[in-house]
């Protein structure tokens, strides 16, 4: 996986055999989809194909146009999938192995990256405090999705990038920011990348946390109209 930020790529060069799911998360509008699309673009430049599962209500046509403005032909190498609800997302992920093998047999073109943007949007829409049985099933399906993605990552050497949202919880009566999905996400992700706004409009602060060691580094990047630098 080649990221749009050199500091991130330098980090992964130190772990050439890195395995596991990577999540990028943060507040609304902080640049998560831009980051995911730039990463996708870099993968396609190496003549690979990718699967991009987009679960939000409105497809980000303007962001796609800006990032792929000089290379629109690369869009043909992206398999865009739009689920209707969380159950549909679960079924799509459950059948990804079939899609991966079919793509390889029919086009002889290997899929090297799967992006889910966003994993928990549809999940959170269906959560209901008054319906514990339904919530239990939702959590089970979320766990099953991540287990399937982990299997695909390990078996087919396909990178997995998950875009996720920020939520607030209380820990010892103190507010704490975590990625949506809580302990389930923490268990299955090998590395999470949090993006934060700063006092400077175009500046973003990145926090990398490697699991389960909880080792963390941070650095700054700039978000322009054409993406991160």
- Residue 1 belongs to a domain: no
CATH of the domain at 98: 3.40.50.300
Average pLDDT over residues 161-183: 90
The CA–CA distances, whole Å, from 102 to 64, 97, 218 equal 26, 9, 40
- Residue 26 belongs to a domain: yes
Nearest-angstrom CA–CA distance, 183 and 3: 26
Structure tokens at 200: 């400077």
Opening angle at CA 106, ends 104 and 111, nearest 5: 30
pLDDT at 129: 64
Q: Contact at 8 Å (CB) between 146 and 92? A: no
How many structural domains compose the chain?
A: 1
Average pLDDT over residues 138-167: 95
Q: Which residue has the higher pLDDT, 119 or 216?
A: 119
Residues 6+ away with beta carbon under 8 Å from 189 = 20, 21, 22, 23, 146, 162, 211
Give the residue numbers spanning the domain of 130: 6-228
pLDDT tens digits along 30-77 = 999 999 999 999 988 877 899 999 999 889 999 999 999 888 888 988
- Residue 30 belongs to a domain: yes
Q: Contact at 8 Å (CB) between 219 and 26? A: no
- Residue 38 belongs to a domain: yes
Nearest-angstrom CA–CA distance, 109 and 102: 10
Q: Is the pLDDT of residue 78 over 90?
A: yes
Q: Are strands 227-228 and 111-117 parallel, antiparallel or unpaired?
A: unpaired
Specify burial of residue 76 (Cβ count, 10 A radius: 0-12, 13-18, 19+).
Answer: exposed
Cβ count near 37 (within 10 Å): 23
Q: Contact at 8 Å (CB) between 169 and 176? A: yes
The rounded percent of the chain whose pLDDT value lies above 70 is 98
Using the structure block, give the residue that is written with the tokens 């999940």: 123
pLDDT at 14: 82
Q: Which of the four pLDDT bands, split at 50, 70 and 90, describes residue 106? A: confident
Greatest mean pLDDT range, 21-25, 74-78, 105-109, 133-137? 21-25
Q: Is the pLDDT of residue 17 over 80?
A: no
pLDDT tens digits along 188-199 = 999 999 999 999
Handedness of CA 195, 197, 198, 203 (dihedral sign): positive
pTM for the model: 0.93
The DSSP secondary-structure symbol of 57 reads S
Residues 6+ away with beta carbon under 8 Å from 10 = none
């Amino acid at each position: 996986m080649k990221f749009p930020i050199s500091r991130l790529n330098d980090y992964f060069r130190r772990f050439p055999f890195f395995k596991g799911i990577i999540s990028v998360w943060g507040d609304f509008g902080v640049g998560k989809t831009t980051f995911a699309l730039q990463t996708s673009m870099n993968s396609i430049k190496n003549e690979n194909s990718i699967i991009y599962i987009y679960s939000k209500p409105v497809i980000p046509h303007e962001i796609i146009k800006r990032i792929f403005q000089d290379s629109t032909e690369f869009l043909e190498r992206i398999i865009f999938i739009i689920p209707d609800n969380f159950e549909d997302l679960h079924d799509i992920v459950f059948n990804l192995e079939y899609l991966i093998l079919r793509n390889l047999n029919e086009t002889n073109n290997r899929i090297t990256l799967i992006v889910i943007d966003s994993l928990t949007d549809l999940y959170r829409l269906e959560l209901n405090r008054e319906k514990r049985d339904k919530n239990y099933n939702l959590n089970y399906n979320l766990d099953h999705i991540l287990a399937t993605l982990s299997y695909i990552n390990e078996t087919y050497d396909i990178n997995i990038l998950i875009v996720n949202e920020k939520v607030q919880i209380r820990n010892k009566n103190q507010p704490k920011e975590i990625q949506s999905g809580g302990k389930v996400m923490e268990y299955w992700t090998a590395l999470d990348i949090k993006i934060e706004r700063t006092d400077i409009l175009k500046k973003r602060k990145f926090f990398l946390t490697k699991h389960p060691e909880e080792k963390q580094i941070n650095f700054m990047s700039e978000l322009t109209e054409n993406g991160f630098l």
